[in-house]
Amino acid sequence: MFAKILIANRGEIACRVIRTARKMGVRCVAVYSDADAKAMHVAMADEAVHIGPSPVGESYLRGDKMVAAALATGAQAIHPGYGFLSENPDFVDQVTAAGLTFIGPSAASIRAMGLKDAAKRLMEKASVPVVPGYHGEAQEIVLLASKAREIGYPVLIKARAGGGGKGMRRVEHPDDFSEALSGARREAKAAFGDDRVLVEKYVDKPRHIEVQVFGDNFGNVVHLYERDCSAQRRHQKVIEEAPAPGMTPALRKAMTEAAVKAAKAISYSGAGTIEFIVDASQGLKADRFWFMEMNTRLQVEHPVTEMVTGTDLVEWQLRVAAGEKLPKTQGDIQLSGHAFEARIYAEDAAKGFLPATGTLHHLKFPDATPEGATIRIETGVRAGDAISPFYDPMIAKLVVHGKDRPAALDALGSALAQTEIAGSTVNTAFLAALAADADFSAGDIDTSLIGRHQEALTVVPPPSGETVAAAALAASGAGAQVPSDDPWSSLSGYAHFHMVARRTRLRHGEEDILARVSVRQDGRFEVALSAPYEGVNSHDLRASPRLARWPGHVTVFEGATSYNFAVPDPLAKADEAAAASDTLRAPMPGLVKLVRVGKGDAVTKGQPLLILEAMKMEHTIAAPHDGVIAEIAVEGAQVSDGTVLVRFAEQDQG
């Protein structure tokens, strides 16, 4: 076994590899760009090497820097993770030429499966079923249009290189073929530097079902059953599960045998995935699946396979790369229960899944699941980390396992409802809505499910009055998670003739909200909200919803939905109002701690007038303009928000 390996990746997958390597007694070298200098994977590793600026082209895609870092630190092997250089055969050649071991397949295997058209021709020779279509080299538009007519519309134009839905167009009618082809070629060229395409029959109700395979250097290949990855948005996976719902023994046998045959055809070693497209229009049938492509690396969704087979695929990768045989034979690998993986992204589902950035000011993952279920969190971030615009915006993978699909689905919904993230827009509400969707729950899924139901899955109901009231309490310093010694809580004591109160302003989206928070004599809080929220709500701190306060904001969590409220700076508001007024009012309730000027004093704009103590902090109240003090508050006075602290003498207009 290796003594030390370098991980040529970042984030969640780097952390995942480190955990297994540490368990096996293998030391790890991390690499990092400028943006990742304080990242979680860097902190977890035994040592770390800086590899360049934040853009991937200057850091994580630089194979020469990876090899140099491995040699400099004495690493014996390089684990590529997924993405970046993981399926780059030239990088494999660089690694092996340097006398290092690549923890993955050979460069020849990667090249054999690297282009969709060549891979499909290879699979046809190996008697693996492929989607009916044209996979040839010729690219003349007349030929491609002719092949499309032979195949029969609708057809799918696909870039032969890359993936993720780029360079892909569905064409319903021959008249639309030319324009669709041009668009696919432009997109493919921009994304992959290769504008060549293939044309295939479009499957009406496609399921994306893939088989995990694993080979060693002794000619052994096994499968670890299938995963269903049909829940996709923009051709990218969102929730994966194992085993596939509705899978029949006949289809599983045919599909797994085809997957093993495909891997053996290229003498495959290491972890790989054979992806199939399945026509589910008439149920799952053994003669209605076709090879789509092979991913010659570890998949993002590998944890669901680990959960249902009781394996550690990263450990297998290390052992096979170190020259060992596969840890298990096919007969040793059994299915147990059901697992789901939900990808939690910083993205705005309601805006077409637009990626988001931000700082994760609050990050809390579930600590409980329904009885009999287990949960696993795969992440590469911590509270306080920033979501960088340079890299994939995935925050975490939430993985659950139950005795069967209903139990696992229940655990998934429960785990999503307990997840709390504040500081960036996230997709937890969308994931929870998808998990609760009637068709998804029933296992009636295909790759178009999210698209058909997208509006219902992404709509976010407006916050309730209770939610707004909770946000107002938190903004005033009286919401959930407030310690018992908080000075605002002390305002629940004596008040002469009236309840101590303060005004709080919030902003939710484009809506401005005014709330008046009062402390009752019984210690409870009363919140009066402006329209359109109804009435007055009484709240006890012990019954407040889950929430998080972070700079300038409050986030309230209702199940998997988070509501973000901006909280304007009361001092800034006070300054703005006072600048055009002859009075200066308290922006919040508090104690007049110190008075620095007296009646009749001439003051200048910005000059400190008094100190107001509130919420354990001292706030300096400064003059909003030049003037003469006519009246000023008494030192030691307890004031509510809106109380006149300073009155200026009228200016001589003569």
* Of the candidates 473, 476, 452, the residue with the CA atom closest to the CA atom of residue 538: 473
Q: Is the dihedral angle over the CA atoms 457, 462, 467, 468 positive or is it negative? A: positive
**Exposed, middle or buried by CB within 10 Å (0-12, 13-18, 19+), for 226?**
buried
3-class secondary-structure state, position 295? strand
Degrees (nearest 5) of the Cα angle 547, 552, 558? 20
Contact present, 262 and 128 (Cβ < 8 Å)? yes
Question: Which residues, 6+ apart, have CB-to-CB distance to 452 below 8 Å?
Answer: none
Beta bridge partners of 117: none
Helix axis angle for 428-436 and 449-458, nearest 10°, is 120
The pair of three-digit structure tokens given for residue 371, joined into one six-digit string: 């009885």
The DSSP secondary structure of 443-502, one letter per residue, reads: T---TTHHHHHHHHHH--PPPPHHHHHHHHHHHTT-STT--TT-TTGGGGS--SSS-EEE
* Of the candidates 475, 478, 487, the residue with the CA atom closest to the CA atom of residue 617: 487
Can you point out the beta strands (E) in 305-408? 338-345, 347-348, 354-355, 358-359, 362-364, 374-379, 386-387, 394-402
Out of 169, 207, 233, 297, the active site residue is 297
The pair of three-digit structure tokens given for residue 578, joined into one six-digit string: 């006072």
Helix axis angle for 302-309 and 313-321, nearest 10°, is 100
The pair of three-digit structure tokens given for residue 101, joined into one six-digit string: 């071991």
CA distance 115 to 167: 13
3-class secondary-structure state, position 614? strand
Which amino acid makes up residue 514?
L
Q: Which residues of 254-277 are buried (b: 16+ CB within 10 A; e: fewer)?
A: bbbebbbbbbebbebbbbbbbbbb
User: Peptide bond preceding 532: is omega within 30 degrees of 0, i.e. cis?
Assistant: yes
CA distance 414 to 550: 25
Helix axis angle for 89-97 and 63-73, nearest 10°, is 30
Instruction: Tell me the residue length of the chain.
Output: 654
Q: Report the run of H or E that residue 37 belongs to, with start and end.
A: none
297 among known catalytic residues: yes
**Residue 362 region by backbone torsions, left for phi larger than 0, else alpha for psi between -120 and 50, else beta:** beta
Residue with tokens 């020779």: 125
Contact present, 210 and 281 (Cβ < 8 Å)? no
Catalytic residue annotation: 297
